[in-house]
Amino acid sequence: MTAADKVILVDWGASCLRAYLCRQGQQRLQILDTAVGPGVAKAERQFEAILTSVIAHWRAEYGCLPVMMSGHIGSNLGWHEAPYVYCPVSPVDVAGHSVSFSAGGHRVYVIPGVCCADDSQHLDVMRGEEIHVLGWLQLAQEHTKGKHLLCLPGTHTKWVLVEDGLIRMVKTAITGELFELLSERSVLVQQRSDEIDQQVFSMAARLTLESENGQFVHGLFGVRTLQILGKLTPWQATSYLSGLLIGSDVRAAIMAQEWQLDELDSLVLIGRRPLCELFETTMKIKNLPVVCIDDQETCISGYSAIYRAVLS
């Protein structure tokens, strides 16, 4: 195979780097290989060295391919800052504001993020998720019409309002980061478990979802007291904490003033399946119809559109 139709895509977030070696297909880019590396928060600003290491085997075979990057790597804590583009904006137009530079013989393109400010001076930003929004828009013609709310769970969960193909609003919840902090550095969880007890998770999610006044802050210490009183095992504490946090996240979206759920044409979850399933479980407690889409599909779909706009 030649290098002429190859490109390297890098989704470089705060916690993880995911790289894809792709080739141009008839409709979209096709993944040939994948690699992972440390996120921006763990990179100690050794960005070029990390990228060189992660893609070394591809470079050995194909030479200096173009590299397209998105995510936290374009922030003021990243490699080369790509200034935000303000909403409302078409995701593909964001690519026109890419920052380009050379590194180790590679031509590197950093896709900027999106910023929004509403009439009440709510300010919010996202980096990387705009690729997935663009990718989702490419998956079906009906996605470009009407009003849709996209939820992208992660370290910082993004709720994105898309109307007639434009990103109108972004709201962020630091759900994943809170989970990491509270499960690793607080008295709440003594024995963290990677297994989710679905019954315990749902019980905690209901506590925040079904309370008129909310139970998030007061409910958090319940992770500790329920263990002390023998109502939760140490291994169930992680599930209970996760339920409280995701329940609070979903409840805030239900109560948001920026959209009305009954006016939406669709509610969509985009992300890794295990995490999306927890959000889906929580949404179904409130009888919210939701569609789940794997984020690798939206990532490649979005980058395919940007590839055509920037490199073709």
Domain boundaries, the chain: 6-144+295-310
Q: What is the pLDDT of residue 2?
A: 62
pLDDT (tens digit per residue) in 228-258: 999 999 999 999 999 999 999 999 999 998 8
Q: How far is the C-alpha of 168 from the C-alpha of 176, rounded, in Å?
A: 24
Residue in this structure with the two tokens 């929580």, named with its chain if needed: 282
CATH superfamily of domain region 6-144+295-310: 2-keto-3-deoxy-galactonokinase, substrate binding domain (3.30.420.300)
pLDDT (tens digit per residue) in 195-236: 999 999 999 999 999 877 666 788 899 999 999 999 999 999
pLDDT greater than 60 at residue 20: yes
The pTM (predicted TM-score) of the whole model is 0.90
Beta pairing partners, 12: 17
Residue 90 pLDDT level (bands cut at 50, 70, 90) = confident
Provide the residue type at 168 as one letter.
R
Mean pLDDT value across residues 16-35: 91
3-class DSSP state of 269: strand
How deeply is 4 buried, as exposed, middle or buried, from its count of CB atoms within 10 A (0-12, 13-18, 19+)? exposed
Q: What is the pLDDT of residue 152?
A: 97
3-12, 78-87, 211-220, 269-278: the lowest-pLDDT one: 211-220
pLDDT greater than 60 at residue 1: no
Burial per residue of 166-183, b for 16 or more beta-carbon CB atoms within 10 angstroms, e otherwise: ebbbbbebebbbbbeebb
